[in-house]
Structure 1
Amino acid sequence: MSSASNESLYREVARKLRNKIKDGVYPLGSKLPTEVELAEELGVNRVTVNRALATLRAEGWTRTHRGVGTFVRDFMPITRETPRRFSRARREQGGARGAFASELAEQDLSYETRTVVERVRPPQHVADVLGVSAEEISVVMRARYMSVKAPAGRTVPYQIAITYVPLEIAEGTAIEEEDTGIGGLSSRLADLDQTQAELDDTIEVRPPEPEEEFLGLNEDQRVFDIFHIGETRDGRPVKVTTFVIPTHLSKLRYRVQLKD
């Protein structure tokens, strides 16, 4: 068999396994048959199955535990729907602590988070957006390391979200607390008459950086790097957030209302 045929064969096997996961033949969180069993089931050799499984691991469809076996992903990608996710009704739905919590609740998932809140000197590019000094402590930074609690009991690192709010807005308010309450940070800004009326997202797909090891990714996997700016109705930027999310865990959806 030619190398081209081998190439197309393992990709075809990966496609078949991927579809079986999507169709529920191999349920979320379940253990896959062994490579030998899959080779027999699909009528190919074990080397082809091994290459197919390596592809699925890179795509986030499976995970492998040495000496235990290969398991199906714990949950399907979560849709990050902008701008709907930032509406007050959505982010406070059912008492949710923000947009992410509301999105998870729709899939019967929950989360846990580690939050670090500090007054800091912002990076220059953030200072430029917010119109504050990069040489002084001029912002409140909220760094959140968020994981999804999967139905099978595993906790899966999902995103790193680092937010900056001008100190003159956040100082002495709930924005400086670990738990910002129902609706999260955006609702607390609204309470301070800093309601966001316009959002700007710039998205890059890139490999994970060493400082993002919390996400537990390998060099073959990629992340969405979302640079998010929230502005008030008069055009003042009041919040900058960088979201870093593994691409295999999220779908990005944008619905835009045209004005002309």
Structure 2
Amino acid sequence: MTDGEPRRATFRTVADEVRARINGGTYPPGSKLPTEEELADQIGTNRGTAAQALRLLLSEGMITKSRRGSFVHRIVKKIVRDSTSRYVRARREEGQARGAFEAEIRNLGMTPSSVTATHHVQPPAWVADILGVDANSESALARVRRMLADDVPVQLATSYLPLEIAGGTRLEEIDTGPGGSKSRLAELGHAQDHITEDIEVRRPTPEEVAALDMAEDQRVFEIAHIGRTEDGRAVEVTIHILPSHLWRLSYSWPLGPTH
């Protein structure tokens, strides 16, 4: 290239331009993007560079791809999971919401929904150990959910509850009522006093890729959530699986005395 020739755009430059057009509304959520050839002509590069740029945006979760072409993801702005306040009773029951997820998705202006199934199960050994139940028998109630925002799958969650507490109660029903399982546990005399969450970032399993409409090279947050009563008894263990490109995790807490 001579000094008089224009510099060709790199794939990152092309990706930045497409990202700016998405964020600016030129390409709205769900819309079809220009083809690789069209992007190359518009931005002043070649098809290979445009293809690299689209692959980068695909890995970030900003776009999706099918045989019909590339499309802007229907959820562009990340969902904020405010773990500090989402489990406060007033928040998870707001507007008769069926738990924290429904409340937070509504507050973001989207429509929540879920597909739920309940089963009596033999829990994983580590879950049984935390809950203090038998790992070798059907000692837990599992609530298995595929959760959506504006009909886009955004989370998988499986909650394990001691069957001696949850069996034969509304916790076995698909609709647990306002506030979700935490409110029903409180009514049964097992209000949760404190929560622990351990977070891991990992590749999704093939089953998670299919259930969450992800690409195999994307990542998920796996959150192991444990709810304990005032006396320290664990009454709920939930495994949340969230596509990392769709979610931002937020935490805050008081530090207490500084001296």
Is the pair's TM-score, using the shorter chain for normalization, greater than 0.5? yes
Structure ID, larger Rg: 2
Whether 1:191 and 2:192 are equivalent positions in the alignment is: no
Deviation, structure 1 residue 250: 0.9
- Equivalence map 1:1-260=2 (5 Å): 9-66=10-67, 68-75=68-75, 76-149=77-150, 155-212=151-208, 213-260=210-257
Hey, what does 2:4 align to over in structure 1? none
For each residue in 1:102-126, what CA deviation from the matched residue of structure 2 results, as whole angstroms up to 9, or x when unmatched?
1111122113322111111110010
Hey, what does 1:152 align to over in structure 2? none
Q: TM-score, normalised by structure 2?
A: 0.91
Deviation, structure 1 residue 199: 1.0
Distance in 2 between the 1:96 and 1:14 partners? Answer: 39
Deviation, structure 1 residue 176: 0.8
Amino acid at match of 1:243: H
For each residue in 1:130-173, what CA deviation from the matched residue of structure 2 results, as whole angstroms up to 9, or x when unmatched?
11110122111111111222xxxxx3221110000111211211
SS in 1 for 2:42: helix
Distance in 2 between the 1:184 and 1:102 partners? Answer: 10
Identity of aligned residues (%): 48
Deviation, structure 1 residue 241: 0.2
Distance in 1 between the 2:231 and 2:110 partners? Answer: 37
Amino acid at match of 2:21: K
> Which stretch of structure 1 is more off in the superposition, 102-111 or 221-230?
102-111
Distance in 1 between the 2:48 and 2:178 partners? Answer: 51
Number of residues paired by the alignment?
249
Q: TM-score, normalised by structure 1?
A: 0.90
Aligned Cα root-mean-square deviation (Å): 1.7
Is contact 2:116–2:145 with CA below 8 Å preserved after alignment? yes
- Uncovered stretches (5+) of structure 2, i.e. residues with no partner: 2-6
For each residue in 1:221-244, what CA deviation from the matched residue of structure 2 results, as whole angstroms up to 9, or x when unmatched?
111111110111221111000001
Distance in 1 between the 2:159 and 2:229 partners? Answer: 16
Deviation, structure 1 residue 101: 0.7
Deviation, structure 1 residue 18: 1.7
Distance in 2 between the 1:19 and 1:256 partners? Answer: 34
Flag as ranges the 4+ runs of structure 1 deviating above 6 A. none
Deviation, structure 1 residue 259: 3.0
- Uncovered stretches (5+) of structure 1, i.e. residues with no partner: 150-154
SS in 2 for 1:86: coil
